Amino acid sequence: MKADIGVTGLAVMGANLARNFARNGYTVALHNRSRARTDALVAEHGNEGTFIPTETLTQLVENLAVPRRVLIMVKAGQPVDDVIDQLVPMLAPGDIVIDAGNSHYEDTRRREAALAAKDLHFVGIGVSGGEEGALNGPAIMPGGPKESYEALGPLLEDISAHYEGDPCCAWIGTDGAGHFVKMVHNGIEYADMQVIGEAYDLLRSVGGIEPADQAGIFRSWNSTDLASYLIEITAEVLGHVDAQTGKPLVDVIVDQAGQKGTGRWTAISGLDLGSPIGAIAESVFARSLSSQSEIRATAQQMLAAGTGSVPAPQDADRDAFVEDVRLALYASKLVSYAQGLDMLTAAAAEYGWSLDLGTIASLWRDGCIIRADLLDVIMKAFGGRDTSRHPEPGTTAEGQPSNLLFAPEFRDAIAAALPAWRRVVATAVAAGVPVPVFSSALSYYDGLRRDRLPAALTQGLRDYFGAHTYRRADREGTFHTLWSGDRSEIEA
Ligand code: 6PG
């Protein structure tokens, strides 16, 4: 008996993906650097399906049906290259190597090109949903050669989450497209969590609402257009009391946010692509600032607040304030999605990927960390799933809005939220509560809609000190003012 797929790297994500394949009726060959994990998996979960435990990578490969499908789930970076280097000599043309980790898309592009030269398929897949998702159905974003999807797609679709019958898995685009889209998913995940944090901070610092009461507020928000996994678990975390101290757990946790790197990669890529993803980048910087514990301690001693007293909203006002914060959260969240999707469009042009935003939004509707009701609306705004990527019926990509904020439903929703959004940012600024994403998202919105931007002055300054030239609004051409001469204008 040969296995349908081999999994190497059986830490919790790899083990859970292997179990998920087995539970879906696939025979799974298992390998781990140390045999103990393989044995533990078979001992604890062997009854969930058919596993073939192996001792070495050679044995793993020998136990696979052709074309061989080998899924690597090891730490991103050099460990992936090490496994690939060992695997390649054992494989034959048409075999498929899958990297399911959070690899950088440039690494995936490099690996895909190197394996293509040996007639092997290398498929970087973005997998979202954490440990539970890996076991019960993650969102899966596969890149790599489209032909490889014929042999691999059905397996991935089977183990993925399903939203109203649609698998949360579809071919995304060539080479590193899958990992790029997963990276942007994580960038949005950072922004999503940061706007939730800003809402929490405002409700507490300005609204005077304690975590236990906020748990109820977030629970009720989960029945509005904010409904999402992250809002749902926010209610859980805020409602949780520390057993040792009796305090809200959130008050016991050190206020320094960690990061493994995908948010930072998103911000760097946004800069490289010239994509204005300020809200996403601010959410990365907010984590960095939180972790500067020594500077923060000094700043608390040294830096003035400069705030007047902002009266906490009372009773009836309080409900209005809570609703304002909800609307500000919604609008800021929408902007971070708009920025992430805009960045995907820029990346598609840069790397020659045919990314379909409707399809991508459809994959995020379930299984992944940013899953939200909103994503179904976003998918529809972009014309549904592209049927050439998936057998289910859908509509074409034609007529997609060039920015998510232009889709009629979102344009109207933001217009309705706008007065509250402005009030909330103004209140936060007056109270000295940092709202980097609420405010940067609003500036992005205003920046887009403003008829004249001060970029004209920037151009004038660049021309003054560096003769960098400028274009005129009233005629074609490139111009320079002779600033240190008679200040006449010449055509450059
Ligand atoms: C997911 C998550 C997952 C992981 C993040 C955490 O989609 O399942 O994004 O990939 O939890 O990478 O990232 P940070 O440690 O950087 O917050």
pLDDT of residue 396: 39
Distance CA(393)–CA(395), nearest Å, equals 7
Instruction: For residues 76-89, give the mean pLDDT.
Output: 97
Distance CA(264)–CA(285), nearest Å, equals 9
Q: Are 163 and 366 in contact (CB under 8 A)?
A: yes
- Is the CATH number of domain 183-449 3.40.50.720? no
Residue among 230, 262, 284, 365 to mutate when testing ligand 1 (max atoms within 8 A of CB)? 262
pLDDT band, very low/low/confident/very high, at 400 (cuts 50, 70, 90): confident
**Phi, psi (degrees; rounded to nearest 5) at 210:** -75, 160
Query: By alpha-carbon position, which residue is closest to atom 14 of ligand 1?
Result: 259
Full-model pTM: 0.95
Identical topology for domains 5-175 and 183-449? no
| pLDDT cut 90: percent of the chain above it | 94
Q: Which atom of ligand 1 is nearest to the CA of 263?
A: 16
pLDDT of residue 248: 98
Given a cut of 90, whether residue 395 has pLDDT beyond it is: no
DSSP for 86-143, written as a single string: HHGGG--TT-EEEE-S---HHHHHHHHHHHHTTT-EEEEEEEESHHHHHHH--EEEE-
Query: What is the Å distance from ligand 1's center to 246 Cα?
Result: 29
pLDDT tens digits, 160-206: 999 999 999 999 999 999 999 999 999 999 999 999 999 999 999 99
pLDDT of residue 235: 98
pLDDT band, very low/low/confident/very high, at 387 (cuts 50, 70, 90): confident
Given a cut of 90, whether residue 316 has pLDDT beyond it is: no
Query: What is the Å distance from ligand 1's center to 360 Cα?
Result: 18
3-state secondary structure of 38: helix
Percent of the chain as helix, strand, coil, to the nearest 5: 55, 10, 35
Instruction: For residues 432-439, give the mean pLDDT.
Output: 97
pLDDT band, very low/low/confident/very high, at 19 (cuts 50, 70, 90): very high
* CA 224, 230, 232, 235 torsion-angle sign: negative
| pLDDT cut 70: percent of the chain above it | 96
Tell me if residue 182 is catalytic: yes
Q: Which atom of ligand 1 is nearest to the CA of 262?
A: 16
pLDDT tens digits, 93-112: 999 999 999 999 999 999 99
Q: Which atom of ligand 1 is nearest to the CA of 287?
A: 17
Domain ranges across the chain: 5-175, 183-449, 455-491
pLDDT of residue 252: 98
Residue among 160, 260, 363, 368 to mutate when testing ligand 1 (max atoms within 8 A of CB)? 260
Given a cut of 60, whether residue 378 has pLDDT beyond it is: yes
pLDDT of residue 388: 75
**CATH class of segment(s) 455-491:** mainly alpha
Q: Taking Cα atoms as reference points, which of 172, 435, 430 lies closest to residue 329?
A: 435
Query: What is the Å distance from ligand 1's center to 217 Cα?
Result: 26
**Residue ranges around ligand 1 (CB below 6 Å):** 102, 128-130, 186, 189, 258-260, 262-263, 368-369
The CATH number for 5-175, chosen from 3.90.1150.10, 3.30.9.90, 3.40.50.720, 3.40.980.10, is 3.40.50.720
Distance CA(21)–CA(87), nearest Å, equals 21
Given a cut of 70, whether residue 393 has pLDDT beyond it is: no
Query: By alpha-carbon position, which residue is closest to atom 9 of ligand 1?
Result: 186
Q: Taking Cα atoms as reference points, which of 447, 439, 376 lies closest to residue 410?
A: 376
